[in-house]
Amino acid sequence: MSELPRGAQVGEGVYTTLLWQGGPPATWPLHLARLQRDAAQVGLPPPPLETLRQQIDHYLTQCPDPSGQGEPLWRLRIRWWADGGNSLAEPAVGGVLELSARALAADERAAGPVRLVTAGPARWPRRWAGAKITSIGEDLAWRHWALGQGADDAVLCDAQGNWSETPTAALLLGLEDGRLATPGPDSWPVRSTSLQALAERLRALGQPAVAAVRLGPADRAQVRWMLLLNAVIGARPVAELDGARLQAPPLALQQLALELTQPVASK
Amino acid sequence: MRGRQTSSAPSSQPAWSWAMTGSGPRRWAALGGPTGDPPQALAVAAQHVAAQRCFHLPRAGSQAAALEIFAQLDADLRRGWAVAGFWSYELGAALELPGYSVGAEGDAEWICFDPKHLQRVVLPAPPQPWQRAFPPLPADLAGQGPAYRRSAAEVLEKIRAGEVYQVNLTAQAALPFGGWPDALAALAAVQAVQSVPYAAVFQGARHQLICGSMERFLSVRGQQVSSRPIKGTAPRHADPAQDAAQAQALRQAPKERAENTMIVDMVRNDLQRAAVPGSVQVIEMLETVGYATLWHLESEVAAQLAEPGQLGSLLRATLPPASVTGCPKIQAMRVIAQLEGRRRGPYCGALGVAFPDGSADLAVAIRTLWLDGQTARFGVGAGLVADSEPEAEWAETCLKAQSPLAILQLLRGGQ
């Protein structure tokens, strides 16, 4: 029996999740850059980016095609774990690359509005804050808690109740004065490739910049709408936050997020 | 005022000179050019035509059918054939909006040939000297003004509501035109009206396409791909000082710059889907280029292909061209389908030639006529952004009708 990699037990692991359909989406370089940056932050050696694409292509061609259409839409997860002993007294050695994929369920992308409740505190200054580390069990526990409250997901907060993100998605908010906002780094959200790509697109389109700000319950009256972003769902509007209704986000923003995260079928 | 003027030459001129002989009474199947003096194009004798492809998308399952078409294209190129033809707007739309396409008029057609059989042909003189007098707007198109302005107002409402940032809204004209012009004469007529880099004629199974496009959709050389989107338009003026002022005003107009900038960003996004990560670059931005009938703002985006030699994959990632859709692209295509309510067909698709070594030159099929033996059709349009005015956009649309109308006028005179 093989022992789990050290990263799987001790937490020295980083990951990214994205869609793949014959190839990656346009945000692929951002995923690679984040893997590299997060690995450095966690103290891991650089992931083997130069061979990663070939390994993914090779790996996915070995997988049975669940769609029967010849070009399945995969939800691909790339993990880069520390190897070595399981004692923190010992330094991490090398790295283990793990790829896992499953066909995307029909209701995972561009799904309907979601109801959120605030949860936490679940974000605080910590050594690896901002990195997309593999230890997300506590975050997912908050999601379970939210489901128990009759909501669909949880907005993770810091100790002062400021919003940060959901366990698996970044937040984009539309404010009353027309500004676009996202919780800033002092609320400790993970660096989101989808949010970064969308902000860059909006800037290129001459649209308002996305401001990184501190937002919490006291700012609720300023928030007109809220959008969840990640590389799998694309964009999902928030219908309710803590039982209070929100307006529908601009459709153009949702569509941009979908386009940015959609891979291109190549065959 | 005739010809193409630019303050600096585009980074790479397309090697756009090709021709195909067809069979039967339509001697020429496709040709592009001309180049040189006297004007000439490359041709292939009829006996060297290896295969002809013609595809219609089904109402149901059009996405899968579109992928099959691209697979066939790559298979033809892998066999060592060159191909020349067109790929319709609906072919691209079918990929993103399943069920949208209707395959009534042909969604992709191309002919295959061995590139070693290319030969040069000299083009005839234009059917008659063009007097540089633009024909009046035909009643069919002029009558669409109110509907276009209403649709434009709806687009602006959608922009204000945050549904979309830009939409390229078009209209189509249909004029009686019997018979089939000689392809060489048609190509000469295109170039007589205005010198454009993507003049071409393609004789398909049911239609003859006469292309007077100045817009590069995709140019591939080795691993390098480039696109040169056009957005931003102003009329030319007979007086040189006023003409220069028009160009200057175009360069500085916030609305025109916004149109172009948005489309450049979309092209970046489209190319990135097929490119080596991090290789997409904007080479040129907001270049003012003058043609006989108008000024345009042009930009150029280039990238390194992740899979060189896979034209089908590249089209899969980029068709329809960004400049004829809007932003966000798919949402804009939905709005276009809703407001235009009819096929664009070859118009706003891709038209061009590709070779087995991976090189290719495809134009955005604008300023393009398609003839069916009884009727000549063409489409014209304009990009609408937040500060557009319906009346001005309709005027721009009508301005763009000048060159196809002038080509028709020459062809009528020459029949």
Q: Which of A29, A71, A204 sits opposite B265 (nearest CB)?
A: A204
* Alpha-carbon distances, residue B382 vs A107, A169, A207, B125, B393 (angstroms): 37, 38, 21, 33, 6
How far is A132 from A191, CA to CA, in rounded Å?
7
**Range with the lowest mean pLDDT among A148-152, B56-60, B66-70?**
B56-60
Chosen CATH of B4-411 out of 3.20.20.210, 3.60.120.10, 3.30.70.580, 2.30.30.40: 3.60.120.10
List the beta bridge partners of residue B326: B167
B22 vs B30, residue with greater confidence:
B30
Mean pLDDT of A60-78: 81
Whether the pLDDT of residue A108 is over 70: the answer is: yes
Could you tell me the residue ranges of all domains in chain B?
4-411
Q: What does the pLDDT read at residue A264?
A: 75
Measured from the Cβ of residue B368, the count of other Cβ atoms closer than 10 Å reads 28
Q: What does the pLDDT read at residue B24?
A: 36
Q: What does the pLDDT read at residue A120?
A: 86
DSSP string, B245-306: HHHHHHHH-HHHHHHHHHHHHHHHHHHHTTB-TT--EEEEEEEEEE-SSEEEEEEEEEEEBS
Measured from the Cβ of residue B25, the count of other Cβ atoms closer than 10 Å reads 6
Whether the pLDDT of residue B6 is over 50: the answer is: no
How far is B396 from A234, CA to CA, in rounded Å?
36
How far is B410 from B415, CA to CA, in rounded Å?
9
Q: How confident is the model at residue B134 (pLDDT cuts 50, 70, 90)?
A: confident
Q: What does the pLDDT read at residue A155?
A: 97
Mean pLDDT of B261-290: 90
Q: What does the pLDDT read at residue B180?
A: 82
Q: What is the ipTM of this complex?
A: 0.78
Q: What does the pLDDT read at residue B155?
A: 97
Whether the pLDDT of residue B122 is over 60: the answer is: yes
pLDDT tens digits, one per residue of B156-191 = 999 999 999 999 999 999 999 998 888 788 888 888
Strands B294-304 and B230-235 come out as antiparallel
Q: How confident is the model at residue B72 (pLDDT cuts 50, 70, 90)?
A: very high
**Range with the lowest mean pLDDT among B132-136, B239-243, B321-325, B350-354?**
B132-136
Q: For the purposes of burial, counting CB atoms within 10 Å of the CB of A20, is it exposed (0-12), middle (13-18) or buried (19 or more)?
A: buried
A226 Cβ partners below 8 Å, 6+ apart? A116, A171, A172, A173, A174, A237, A238, A241, A246, A249
Whether the pLDDT of residue B8 is over 60: the answer is: no
Mean pLDDT of B85-111: 79
By C-alpha distance, which of A126, A31, A113, A117 is closest to A80? Answer: A31
Q: How confident is the model at residue B324 (pLDDT cuts 50, 70, 90)?
A: very high
| B158 given a catalytic annotation | no
* Set B231, B259, B340, B400: catalytic member: B231
> Do A199 and A209 meet the contact criterion of CB atoms below 8 Å apart?
yes
Residue of B nearest to A32 (CA): B277
Percent above pLDDT 70 for chain B: 83
By C-alpha distance, which of B75, B81, B15, B86 is closest to B44? Answer: B81
Mean pLDDT of B271-288: 90
pLDDT tens digits, one per residue of B376-387 = 999 999 999 999
The angle at the Cα of B150, spanning B148 to B156, to the nearest 5 degrees, equals 100
How far is A30 from B278, CA to CA, in rounded Å?
9
Q: What does the pLDDT read at residue B415?
A: 38
With CB atoms and an 8 Å threshold, state whether B330 touches A69.
no
Instruction: Give yes or no for B71 touching A (CB within 8 A).
Output: yes
Q: How confident is the model at residue B199 (pLDDT cuts 50, 70, 90)?
A: confident
Q: What does the pLDDT read at residue A101?
A: 92
Instruction: Give yes or no for B317 touching A (CB within 8 A).
Output: yes
Chain B hits for A252, CB-CB cut-off 8 Å, are: 162-165, 327-328, 331
Q: How confident is the model at residue A3 (pLDDT cuts 50, 70, 90)?
A: low
Whether the pLDDT of residue A97 is over 80: the answer is: yes
Ordered by where they begin, the domains of chain A are 6-103 (3.30.470.10), 114-261 (3.20.10.10)
Q: Is the dihedral of CA B12, B13, B15, B21 positive or negative?
A: positive
Chain A hits for B264, CB-CB cut-off 8 Å, are: 204
How many Cβ contacts (< 8 angstroms) between chains A and B? 77
Chain B hits for A207, CB-CB cut-off 8 Å, are: 165
By C-alpha distance, which of B138, B152, B171 is closest to B392? Answer: B152
Whether the pLDDT of residue A67 is over 80: the answer is: no
Q: What does the pLDDT read at residue A127?
A: 82
A256 Cβ partners below 8 Å, 6+ apart? A198, A201, A202, B327, B328
pLDDT tens digits, one per residue of A230-243 = 999 999 999 999 99
Chain B hits for A250, CB-CB cut-off 8 Å, are: 161-163
* Set B90, B109, B158, B215: catalytic member: B215
Q: What does the pLDDT read at residue B276?
A: 87
Top residue of A51, A179, A251 to mutate, by most chain B CBs within 10 Å, is A251
Q: What does the pLDDT read at residue B1?
A: 35
Top residue of A20, A200, A256 to mutate, by most chain B CBs within 10 Å, is A256
> Do A121 and A159 meet the contact criterion of CB atoms below 8 Å apart?
yes
pLDDT tens digits, one per residue of B208-226 = 899 999 899 999 999 999 9
Q: What does the pLDDT read at residue B383?
A: 92
Whether the pLDDT of residue B205 is over 80: the answer is: no
Q: What does the pLDDT read at residue B208?
A: 87
Q: Which of B162, B264, B272 sits opposite A252 (nearest CB)?
A: B162
Q: What does the pLDDT read at residue A119?
A: 95
Residue of A nearest to B319 (CA): A264
The angle at the Cα of B173, spanning B170 to B175, to the nearest 5 degrees, equals 170
